[in-house]
Chain A
Amino acid sequence: MSDSFTAKIWVLGDDIDTDIILPTEYLAMKTVQDMKPYAFSPLRPELAEKIKPGDMIVAGKNFGCGSSREQAPEVVKALGVSCVVAKSYARIFFRNAINNGLLLIENQDLYDEVKEGDVATVTPGKSIEVNGKTYEIASLPDNLMDILNAGGLVQAMRKKNGLD
């Protein structure tokens, strides 16, 4: 995984569902770039414009619950979000994020202790530092690391098919 990076925090709540991350109305747009302005629009219509590449999202429990739409993690990634830190994730969103190389971090405390606009230093697989406090974070299981290390599932399959 990459080295440490610093990121500005945007805070969302519990149960941020996939319809909030990207409403159905926009799922059929031809590219994820087209979908970007509508990310999080039911909840915070202004957010997509405000998020800058490298920023991070901190949320409560069950982030990404709901549908299997992979456009959801793809659009978060396309906004340039460096990572999401949540208390827990819905399982389909979790798999989809890994397959697209979007870093998801599970942490029980961060959400309750930071506020929007705080800046964190993230060291993947090790820790997050923010407001002078250090939060330990776990590494991912090996099979997921394999996909992440390959650069996502498409790259892993290309390798398997002898293309790269």
Chain B
Amino acid sequence: MSGIRNLGMPFDPDLFSDLKMNRSAIERRAKSLGGRRSVKKEWQAAWLLKTITFIDLTTLAGDDTDGRVKRLCAKALRPVKEDVLLSLGAQSLNIHPGAVCVYNNFVGIAVKALAGSGIPVAAVSTGFPAGHTPLAIRLVEIRASVKAGAQEIDIVIERHMVLNENWRALYTMIARCREVCGEAHIKVILGTGELGTLTHVAKASMVAMMAGADFIKTSTGKEGVNATLPVSLVMVRMIRTYFEMTGYKIGYKPAGGISDSKTALQYVILMKEELGNDWLTPDLFRIGASSLLTDIERQLEHCATGRYAAYHHQPLV
């Protein structure tokens, strides 16, 4: 990753305690976004190719195996068919996902599979998905992931700290994790589907950034509700606020439920409209997904050939 890394700042509740999010207004804005912008033809192809570079290609399932992780990595190395790239004139763009995201235990396998590609491995490493394990154990887990070669660590927060508004504890917990991450970048998963209100989402976002998060991320993919546009709007607005306050650009990662091109493009549009082009880089924007890639491939094939494409023609993720 490039740019100046967020150094965080001292815990200061004055900077976020007055925040209030108006759900209805936020939902209205989120709803109208899709209708306000549209990318067609070459623009659609280019935007979708770019979207692939935002993907944290992810497998986080109970039945993950070495074989499954290897297959995912292979796909990361060749996310789009050669002929499609050629026909779009995109062969020199070196399209690959932003990272491959796995459980701690599979970091080693993934690192090996991706060796030499420049694609980083991200690990979910802190009692994922609930975070209800002793902090000491979670820190051990982070260290293990980093040692195994993970360049990015996705941590989960303890939701009770938000629900009970124990912001200082949240700050301290995240800061500890960040410390242990060392050079590895830290993405803080808020579990927004379990935070109750958008105001909580906003405050948790601010605390995470103050504590040194490189990215703030919506969900584990395991909550009842995962990434949504209204929640994203709140989080990116907080990123903007933090940037205006400190000059640090924090990344954003929606995850869970983004499985088709149309939805993914809405998130890209949201980033462009609310944060600007600076954020349209894998350094500052990721989408946690897996099946999304197949849908994007189909759309790209359509852009290339003019024919609607079939799922089974795309190499499995």
A and B are interacting partners:
no
Interface residues of A (CB under 8 A from B): none
